[in-house]
Amino acid sequence: MSTKDVRRVPHVTIDDQAVNGRTLLAVTEVRSRAERKERTRQNLLDVTLTMISNRSLASLSLREVARAAGIVPTAFYRHFESMDALGVELVDESMRPLRQMIRDARRGRAAHGDIIKDSVAILGNQVRTHPAQFRFLSRERYGGVGAVRRAIDTELRLFTSELTVDLARLTAGADWTSDDLEMTADLMVSTMLNTVMALLEVDKRHVEDEQAILHRAERQLRLVALGMGVWHSSSG
Amino acid sequence: MSTKDVRRVPHVTIDDQAVNGRTLLAVTEVRSRAERKERTRQNLLDVTLTMISNRSLASLSLREVARAAGIVPTAFYRHFESMDALGVELVDESMRPLRQMIRDARRGRAAHGDIIKDSVAILGNQVRTHPAQFRFLSRERYGGVGAVRRAIDTELRLFTSELTVDLARLTAGADWTSDDLEMTADLMVSTMLNTVMALLEVDKRHVEDEQAILHRAERQLRLVALGMGVWHSSSG
DNA sequence: GCGTTCAGTGAACGCTCGTACACTCAATAG
DNA sequence: CTATTGAGTGTACGAGCGTTCACTGAACGC
């Protein structure tokens, strides 16, 4: 019986599962055809994200991705029209941690005092937990193909306008114009993105560096906040 | 006489030259062999920079670049070991406008009052004059190959430390630690880079957008400067 | 003058690439 | 139970890739 014949048998997936501290093999039959399709599709997205960590999306070939996902090149087309289309889907997928970040920050804010410290800590956590997603977004934001770049830009603009709303609440008393608010939000988002990229470039080395970068981001945001206290619209 | 035979004749270059408002063809004999080599080398760098404007360096093939430069693929190796090596050289070349920027800003500062307004104007001019270089640096800073990325990072770090020195002079009276100075310089450089990327993304559309982006950058830097006035080290 | 140097040539190599096409066969629908 | 569907297969194609190699002939050094 050759290895090829195995594949002709009813579909079976083998997963590693940790139970009671021991690793054992669990055989999971995947019933639905739609479910199996979704699994392959997700696998394509996953392996692409993994491969992207060292290189750019443009340098990845359809064949290479298909190979890594364990399917034949032609089967790729059952899921995506092209590598570019896969890239656009990947933007959506990678934006999830970023959206989660906003939710976390807003929930935490109600609790106690230091918004900046908390926000930076949340940023650090998200980057540490989802490095591949953030790396993908950083890499492709300016370096990528047109469609992917545009998709990322749209999402980031959304992020900035969310922050603008938050800033409007915080400065409810002062005479801030919406233009000034947006300008400030943009400055803060730019600072955070700069921090993300710095975090991604050092994560191989020691944890102290990571702390130093987060501490720097904290001080930078604090500096901006101090400026906000003195700002009045005629300043610009 | 075939077109190929023309190339066997002593080397001749045909340039467009504008003289007295009229365009005429000037035939320039290039004497030195070294000089001709340098010309080809520069041509390789130039065509690469041009092609990069739409795509990433990684998606450019050696053959494609050689073809655009009008030489055979093998001749490429007379000038660069690989496309990556060419990329590293291109970083050096593209950094020249950025270095010029610092010199311009320092010269202008001695003259009169508004450092921020002048610096932002200089930034705008440099980006408008050398869009290809700035686009290359933006694209490859995070998206590019390892060697290129590292080369850009080194130069940007140098840029930040130059600015740190300038800030030290400006805050001579206050109790700024070198750590705080660097943190602030980093914030400002990050803001300027963000501005550069914004400028590059809109330059196809109207001039008003460009002015709006520069105005925003001016206000952002002013906000930071205001923060500096209130800052003291214990803030961080 | 004359042998040397070396930027550029052109054919040939063994790859990988995207895409086309006809196919298989388990899951699904009726 | 049977017919249809559709995710995945396998072969084949023409094209482009990086790199090798032996070469040409104008510019150069002596």
Q: Which tens digit of pLDDT belongs to each residue from B148-187?
A: 999 999 999 999 999 999 999 999 988 899 999 999 999 9
Cα B221 to Cα A33, A117, B128, B170: the distances in Å are 57, 22, 20, 15
| A125 or B16, greater pLDDT | A125
3-state secondary structure of B11: coil
**Burial (CB count within 10 angstroms: exposed 0-12, middle 13-18, buried 19+), residue A198:** buried
Answer whether any strand D atom is within 7 A of the Cβ of A37: yes
Give the count of beta carbons closer than 10 Å to the beta carbon of residue A131.
16
Please indicate if any CB of chain B lies within 8 Å of the CB of A223.
yes
Please indicate if any CB of chain B lies within 8 Å of the CB of A150.
no
Minimum distance, in Å, between the CA of residue B162 and any CA atom of chain A: 18
Inter-chain residue contact A153 with B201, CB threshold 8 Å: yes
Minimum distance, in Å, between the CA of residue B103 and any CA atom of chain A: 25
Instruction: Enumerate long-range contacts of B161-169, CB under 8 Å, 24 or more apart.
Output: B161/B185, B162/B102, B163/B188, B163/B189, B166/B106
Distance A71 CA to D9 C1' (A): 9
Inter-chain residue contact B197 with A230, CB threshold 8 Å: no
Answer whether any strand C atom is within 7 A of the Cβ of B22: no
Confirm if B180 and B231 have CB atoms less than 8 A apart.
yes
Please state, in angstroms and rounded to a whole number, the distance separating the CA atoms of residues B26 and B15: 6
Percent of chain B with pLDDT over 90: 72
User: Which DSSP symbol is given to B171?
Assistant: T
State the pairing for strand pair B22-29/B12-19.
antiparallel
Helices A33-52 and A131-143: angle between axes, nearest 10 degrees: 70
State the pairing for strand pair A22-29/A12-19.
antiparallel
Nearest residue for C16, CA–C1': A63
Q: What integer is the mean pLDDT of B13-20?
A: 46
For chain A, positions 73-132, list CB contacts with chain B under 8 A: none
Q: What integer is the mean pLDDT of A9-17?
A: 52
Can you give the pLDDT at residue A206?
Answer: 79
Please state, in angstroms and rounded to a whole number, the distance separating the CA atoms of residues B48 and B94: 12
Nearest residue for C18, CA–C1': A62
Please state, in angstroms and rounded to a whole number, the distance separating the CA atoms of residues A43 and A65: 10
Please indicate if any CB of chain A lies within 8 Å of the CB of B62.
no
pLDDT digits (tens, 9 = 90+) for A197-226: 999 998 776 788 999 999 999 999 999 999
* C-alpha angle A171-A172-A178 in degrees, rounded to nearest 5: 75
Answer whether any strand C atom is within 7 A of the Cβ of B228: no
- Residue owning tokens 């940007």: B156
Percent of chain A with pLDDT over 70: 85
Cα A33 to Cα A9, A107, A189: the distances in Å are 14, 39, 43
Distance B64 CA to D15 C1' (A): 14
Inter-chain residue contact A190 with B186, CB threshold 8 Å: no
Q: Is pLDDT above 60 for A16?
A: no
Return positions of chain C under 7 A from a protein CB: 6-12, 16-22, 25-28
Confirm if B160 and B186 have CB atoms less than 8 A apart.
yes
Tokens of A29: 């039959």
User: Which DSSP symbol is given to B29?
Assistant: E
Tokens of B219: 């206000």
Question: Residue B186: closest CA among chain A residues belongs to which residue?
Answer: A220
Please state, in angstroms and rounded to a whole number, the distance separating the CA atoms of residues B191 and A186: 9
pLDDT digits (tens, 9 = 90+) for A47-101: 999 999 989 999 999 999 999 999 999 999 999 999 999 999 999 999 999 999 9
Q: Is pLDDT above 70 for A152?
A: yes
Q: Using a CB-CB distance cutoff of 8 angstroms, which residues of chain B are in contact with residue A216? A: 183, 186
Q: How confident is the model at residue B235 (pLDDT cuts 50, 70, 90)?
A: low
**Burial (CB count within 10 angstroms: exposed 0-12, middle 13-18, buried 19+), residue B41:** middle
Q: Using a CB-CB distance cutoff of 8 angstroms, which residues of chain A are in contact with residue B228? A: 223, 227
Q: Using a CB-CB distance cutoff of 8 angstroms, which residues of chain A are in contact with residue B56? A: 56, 58-59, 143-144
Question: Mean pLDDT across chain B, nearest whole number?
Answer: 88
Cα B31 to Cα A225, A228, B41: the distances in Å are 62, 63, 16
Helices B131-143 and A131-143: angle between axes, nearest 10 degrees: 160
Answer whether any strand C atom is within 7 A of the Cβ of A59: no
Give the count of beta carbons closer than 10 Å to the beta carbon of residue B14.
8
Return positions of chain D under 7 A from a protein CB: 6-12, 16-22, 25-28
Can you give the pLDDT at residue B236?
Answer: 57
Q: What's the residue count for chain B?
A: 236
Tokens of B133: 């270089």
Q: Using a CB-CB distance cutoff of 8 angstroms, which residues of chain A are in contact with residue B235? A: 219, 222-223, 226
Please state, in angstroms and rounded to a whole number, the distance separating the CA atoms of residues B98 and B35: 27
| A42 or A6, greater pLDDT | A42
